[in-house]
Structure 1
């Protein structure tokens, strides 16, 4: 929502590995576009490796908490991109949620959750306590941004950030929101918000917040939402941001000006902050003077997971061909873009034995997934399916990764079985993950090939 702007440079998107189909084994029964069984080297002839076909570079992967999210009610840009996640900020400022002390109005948060839920996406929000120059200040039919029970600095409209009353009221607000929404699977993340102009953790007027009080503002949000991602804007000092990250394991970072110089963010000047993405999410939005070419470079350089559908100073159809290409690359590569390269199984499976399974993965995106996903192997014969879990293999995968596991397969009848792989949300809320592979079925699985059970 800020009219401030900030970026970096970006390294050209790496070329995706070319898929080479090798000779099919006579024993493999494969679909033409799904996977190819590869001959095992001498000594490993008891195994069969299936190489799965990759999807094209720009194919849309509508997974949660990656790519583009909807903001300000703006449809995806371009319209061919799927955008299921929803973000609110102006709609849910403090005075609107709590117009008077302990008088709550959660209708707009409920609306945002319902919108995201209907799309199968995730909802995120930031509560503003102070929004100088914003539209709602000029609407007499809207509550004030800063509630009347929050103390102000003398002679100003700026909250008294360091007063015990401000901190106590903020903690009470977050605790109430956490009680109501902390376990809702539709909620993906919460911006810390609260302090500073637009909740961005910077002020141009009045006294700033003292570090201990700033840490208390952050802790009120992270403790209210211990199982959700929480984000803090990186316009704070490096030392403060690092202290907040160390004290709050579920805290990630955000900057609001993708596509402007250094994103007006401290991430661009500190190597320690530039490593946060390996374990914590980094979300962003386009700035009001964004350069899409620069923004695409920043997505890769700083490992950004999400981008907004709004706030750009242009429309997609007004961009030059190089700008359109860069913008499309930014959207396609933001966040995780996981591809199953190969799956190795025994050529023959014992009906009541344990099965050794090896998977090889490639992340073609800018960042990992930070959530738990369950990789599942399914064996199907004559319409009867048996599914086993291969575990949480994908969280934190930043480049390439291999996993080996042995799983017990329930009693199976002898015969030939079709093999498929799916990546599912353990909570059951999100659709199975879209992989950067061809051959997705209507159930969200990817066909691998076939094996024999004896």
Structure 2
């Protein structure tokens, strides 16, 4: 995809039909106890079935749904978009205008924007951007820094030279030292090679497999604890080698809503199994069909998408297209609902009890980050929590979990029971579940239990 300018038309006067009325859902019904009792010992337990949100309700969780690109507001405006992605703002020549001289202004700005929204930041560093606006502005450094070797007689970087390889690794190492442990940073798009950092070129010498893998390795070594993405316009065998070498490496394509997403992923089944453990991100292509895009979100398990390149305004869509577009936004990534929770009818403080949970993921992909499930007992303003562990790891359809937990020392009485899904790093707010009854603390009330 060719780089685009920062401006775009986003005429929005109506919200997506499936997302209308979200603000009125906060007073929805919470959990209700089930009267069904089957099997030995079930009479001593109570199962609470939790109410669900409508299928199109907004879930503003990190690294799912719609992200912000090139400063564009979300489309439609009723959809929460907290994650932020930079590309044109953070090209190589802007970060390092002279060898060893750094300008982190725009990377810091992107992280700050994501942090203020409670979202995650992602970025791609371009080394080459043919025809891009930055190269024609006297007040902007060129995309390719002057110290980067070129192929003879061209302005194309010499991808296979030791000069390019060494400078790229030095750049990534510096960025990794500065941002590798920042909780606001969600992922790094490998970038580096090809037009717009998209891993394809129209002219000049191509990168060798060995040097291409070295470009990926430089990013992976600098950011060992972050998600990485590589554009799937690469040859399949090369992509498989890169994925095998780096377990944190996922994929992206810039062609959602176009035939095969202009991607090798759609035409090779070997690449289509990695979504279970690695993220796949996308953006709408410049000739996107929203109906096709919605199908691709499900078929290829897309986690995030952007409105940055949409060729149409929301008002111009037919009702069928709007419905498909709303479905694409609502189902991209994880959309997790707690179906039920089973507890003993009464417990004694200090007991070790069995807690049974049933979950369903209504989205297209699992969450690829760690989330801890927490059970909380609340009474008279006092809350005490017990950990249920990482129950959502790899959840792609439905699951049932049984966990033994020790009940905290509580005085006798009746306690409200709440469930929350929390970020163990403390950065992200508790996960928004596809359940009604979310409290101000980000927990969901399940029911009550008597402590003896």
Q: TM-score range by the shorter chain?
A: over 0.9
1:245 to 240, 243, 246: 243
Aligned position for 1:37: 33
Residue-by-residue CA offset, 1:289-315 (whole Å, 9 max, x unaligned) = 111111111000000000113110011
- TM-score for the superposition, normalised by structure 1: 0.93
> 1:20-63: CA deviations, max 9, x gaps?
xxxxxxxxxxx981111113225211111111011011100000
| Residue matched to 2:2 | 2
Contact 2:87/2:123 (CA < 8 Å) preserved in 1? yes
Partner of 2:286: 288
Residues 89-128 of structure 1 aligned to structure 2 (within 5 Å): 89-128=87-126
**Which one of the candidate residues 207, 214, 217 is aligned to 2:215?**
217
SS at match of 2:278: coil
Runs (4 or more) in structure 1 with deviation over 3 Å come to 1-4
Shift in Å, 1:395: 2.1
CA–CA distance in structure 1, aligned partners of residues 3 and 122 of structure 2: 20
Match of 1:372 in 2: 370
SS of the equivalent of 2:43 reads: coil
2:22 alignment counterpart: none
Q: Which runs of 5+ in 1 are unaligned?
A: 5-30
- Within a 5 Å distance, the mapping from 1:253-332 to structure 2 comes to 253-332=251-330
Query: Could you tell me how far apart the structure 2 residues matched to 1:383 and 1:201 are?
Result: 56
Alpha-carbon offset, residue 239 of structure 1: 0.5
CA distance in 2, matches of 1:252, 1:235: 13
- Paired residue for 2:13? none
Aligned length: 428
Alignment deviations for residues 369-423 of structure 1 (CA, whole Å, 9 cap, x no partner): 0000010000111211111111111121000011111111221111111001000
Cα distance in 1, alignment partners of residues 354 and 39 from structure 2: 18
Tell me the CA shift for residue 3 of structure 1. 6.5
Q: Distance in 2 between matches of 1:323 and 1:236?
A: 31
- The corresponding residue for 1:395 is 393
Residue 44 of structure 2: aligned partner: 46
Question: Is the partner of 1:193 in helix, strand or coil?
Answer: coil
SS of residue paired to 2:269: coil
Please state how far the C-alpha of 1:2 moved relative to its aligned partner: 3.2
1:158 matched to which residue of 2? Answer: 156
Cα RMSD (Å) of the superposition? 1.2
Aligned pairs for 1:16-95 within 5 A: 33-39=29-35, 40-43=37-40, 44-95=42-93
Tell me whether 1:132 sits opposite 2:103 in the alignment: no
The separation in 1 between residues aligned to 2:3 and 2:397, in whole angstroms, is 34
Superposition pairs of residues 161-172 of structure 1, within 5 angstroms: 161-172=159-170
- 2:446: which partner in 1? 448
- Structure with larger RCO (C-alpha < 8 A, sep 6+): 1
Distance in 2 separating the partners of 1:67 and 1:381: 36
CA contact (8 A) 1:86 1:115 kept: yes
CA contact (8 A) 2:336 2:362 kept: yes
Asked whether the 8 Å contact 2:63–2:303 carries over to 1, the reply is yes
Residues 66-124 of structure 1: CA deviation (Å, up to 9, x unaligned): 00000010000000000000000000000000000010000000000000000000000
Q: Output the CA distance in 2 between the equivalents of 1:98 and 1:307.
A: 29
* Contact kept? 1:418, 1:450, Cα under 8 Å: yes
Question: What are structure 2's unaligned runs of at least 5 residues?
Answer: 5-26
Structure 1 residues 32 and 161, CA, compared in 2 at 3 Å: closer, same or farther? closer
1:413 aligns with 2:411: yes
CA distance in 1, matches of 2:184, 2:239: 27
Residue deviations 1:429-448 (CA, integer Å, cap 9, x gap): 11100000000011100000
C-alpha distance in structure 1 between counterparts of 2:242 and 2:95, whole Å: 26
Maintained 8 Å contact 1:3/1:288: no
1:207 equivalenced with 2:221 (yes/no): no
Structure 2 CA distance, aligned partners of 1:33 and 1:302? 34
- How many angstroms apart in 2 are the aligned matches of 1:123 and 1:143? 23
Whether the 8 Å contact between 1:128 and 1:199 is mirrored in structure 2 is yes
Pair 1:147–1:206, CA change in 2 (3 A): same
